[in-house]
Amino acid sequence: MVNFLSGRFIVSAEKLSQCPGLNLPEFALVGRSNVGKSSFINKLANNKKLAKTSNTPGKTRLINFFNMSNKLIIADLPGYGYAKVSRAAQEAWQKNLEEYLLNRREIVSLIQFIDARHDIQKNDIQMREWINIKGLPVFTVMTKSDYISRAEINKKIQSIKKEFGGEVLPFSSNDNFYVDNVTDFMFKLCGF
């Protein structure tokens, strides 16, 4: 049986000073636009309408916070790699996101999302290098795993581990099979 979390949206924040103070372990979701971060949140909560999904890249412009069963917080960050906004707006986002990622005490781990259907992109590598340089805790979720065969999933996991190291967990918003593995790992990091 799949153990879904009860999720609810809390607030959107532009910068660290606007983030909620809930004293719960927090996971910050990072990844390219349209990699499946919103679908991930919706799947964990078994609620397709909790986090807004879009076919248009760059829709998430703020840090969106979700309370998951009063056990942990998920912070959905704007996707990198694509956004139809000015250079000045992109620089402001980058400054605000860096401040959040480097100074938010509640963060237990970042979760970097990689699309199983594609090779790791240059901006994924740049993001991981920045995370590693800053010494931030991180693991990888490989989204859209239902689009490739089970044999390919294992090969892809090994490829990502070779590039990034650390834990790599397959996931699909269309398949309940992966939900418990991801939530169990998150709970373990929280000390539950």
Is the separation of the CB atoms in 107 and 16 below 8 Å?
Answer: no
The string of DSSP codes covering 43-108 is HHHT-TTSS---SSTT---SEEEEEETTTEEEEEPPPBS---S-HHHHHHHHHHHHHHHHH-TTEE
Distances from the Cα of 129 to the Cαs of 57, 84, 133, 163, in angstroms? 23, 25, 6, 11
Average pLDDT of the segment spanning 68-73:
96
What are the tens digits of pLDDT across the range 16-40? 999 999 899 999 999 998 899 999 9
C-beta neighbour count of 134 within 10 angstroms: 12
Give residue-wise pLDDT tens across range 142-179.
Answer: 999 999 998 999 999 999 999 999 999 999 998 888 99
pLDDT digits (tens, 9 = 90+) for 91-125: 777 888 899 999 999 999 999 999 999 999 999 99
Find all residues with CB under 8 Å of 191, minimum gap 6, and list them: none
Q: Is pLDDT above 80 for 1?
A: no
